[in-house]
Structures are given as structure tokens and as C-alpha cells.
Amino acid sequence: MPPKLIIQLGRFIWTTLWRIMMSKLAPRDASGAYIRPESQFRDRIGSQTYPAASGRYKLFVGMSCPWAHRTLVTRALKGLENTIEKSIVSPSPENGGWILDQPEFGCTTLAELYRLAKPEYKERSTVPVLWDCETNTIVNNESSEIIVMLNREFNEFAAHPELDLYPDLLRDEIDRWNLKTYNSVNNGVYRCGFAQTQAAYESACNELFSMLDTIDKTLENNRYLCGDTLTLADIRLFTTLFRFDAAYYGIFKCSRRRIQDYENLGAYVRDIYQLPGVADTCDLQAVKRDYYGNLFPLNPGGIIPIDSDSQNLLAPHNRDKIYA
């Protein structure tokens, strides 16, 4: 068979299989743009059903996942490590989902844990999961809601109850930033990486870098997004930016510019990384291993780039000299 036919056959087979795998990994609309499914468990701590308590709840998290990472950063900053236990899950491309590092509640996979909570459940099984150990069920699997609960509902058990990451006076501003950064940055990197047409990719990429330029400009005079006060808006942004140069820049084709090349964004990431307890929640090796090693449709060879430690996360940031 001539090489031309081999190439044509190989391209046809791979493209067909790629589309099948991507339909499960990343649902798309008619234009080829990625559509993120909504979280399905939306109960709240503080209700009569789920009162705040120490030792009753735990977080199931994947160390490479930015959405789960938000909950770990908030938990660390509030000093809730002794109140809310964490359990680690790791992605398995062979099994097509998350695997519990240690079996719990008779479950070895996250999908089994979801079915334990809701036997008829057939949707995606994602992290983070806020789990109630008393009733063996999922309270919530929406990261943006879990971090609000961690900030507010467990203060009587927290080592740092005085820290309010969602203060009343800043809530409107925090919510505005969250709305802007979610679609353009947090989900924007996935819209780039999971785009299935050139037009969808370029649209997402342009929106992503336009917002990064806007944020970088804001940080010229503000230490954090809302001035000199660290908020949940910063935590939500940080966990995406922390992964950007190591993963999204390469495998998700967010390659116009690295975060460390921005005048202010790189220092902003270092500032938050160096806050007490935050570095312990960050696992850059897990990020690279899981994104490059496990997203088979995007990186069939599974080759993981060599780590050059180029992010220099412990370098001085000098952000404490900036005031709104």
C-alpha cells in the first residue's frame, strides 16, 4: 500500500475514534465549542439536613484538577484540615474515570461513590465531592459553592475564623470578577483545549488572552482582584493560573503567552502560592502527569514534558508593596 493511502487511512481512523472519545470527554455544540455540563449535587452545609460539624464531612479531590484545588486552598487558608478530611482520587485512562487512591465505603472508583450516593446516577463523576460520612451521600459537587461553604459555615472549628474570603462589602465585586473569569479563563482554557473546530478554538483563545490582558492591567495597582484583600475570586483564578504554563500552554494550545511572561500575573501567582498553607495544596508534578499522561485524545503518545521549574514559584513577588 502506498504511503499516501496509509496516511489517508490512518487519518480517517484516528479522526473517527478521536471524535467518539471527545464526545464523551468534552461535549460540544454545533460549532464545535466545548460545553461544560452542570454539577448535579447542590445541597448546602448549614441546613437542618447537613449541619456544620467537625469530622462529619470529607473532600474527595484530584490533585491535578483546578476545580478541586479551589477547595483545598480555601480549606488550608481557613485552617480546616483537622475539621474536614480529604481523600485523593487519580485519573485512570484505562478505566475512563477517577480511581480512589484508597478504597472507601466499599468503593474503588469515583463512579461507584456517586452511585452509592444515588444508585440511578448515570452522569459524569467529577471532583471535588463534598461527602457526608454520616449518611454516606454527596452534599455538593460544585466547587464554586463548596468554597463559599468552607469560608462561612465552619468558622467555629476553623483555625482562622477571622479570615473572610467572601466579605459582604466586596461580594458584588467578587461576583463580577467570578463571572468574567469563569467563562474566559477558568473554563476558557478548556474551551481552547477541547475545541473541535478551528473557529471554536480561535474564539476561545482570543477571549482567554483578552481577559488575561485585562487582569494583568488591573493588577498594576491592585495586589488582588478586589484591591488589597484576598478573596474567593483570587482563589478561583489562582488554581487555573498555577496550571497554565505547565499544562494549558502546551496541551490545551493556550500558547500565545505564558503567565510568567506577564508583568503582573506571574508575581500574582507567586504571591498567592507563598501564602501560608497554599504551597502544600499544589502538586505541579501531578498536574503534568495527569494532563499529558491521561488525556489520551489530546496526547496519544502520553509523553510528559521535562520539568524546567521555569515558574520559579518561590521567587520574590513584591506584591505586598501594591495597594489599591
Q: Is 65 a catalytic residue?
A: yes
Q: How far apart are CA 157 and CA 176, in angstroms?
A: 30
The catalytic position among 50, 57, 65, 192 is 65
The catalytic position among 34, 190, 201, 292 is 190
Q: How far apart are CA 107 and CA 2, in angstroms?
A: 51
Q: How far apart are CA 120 and CA 118, in angstroms?
A: 6
Q: Is 133 a catalytic residue?
A: no
Please identify every residue annotated as catalytic.
65, 190
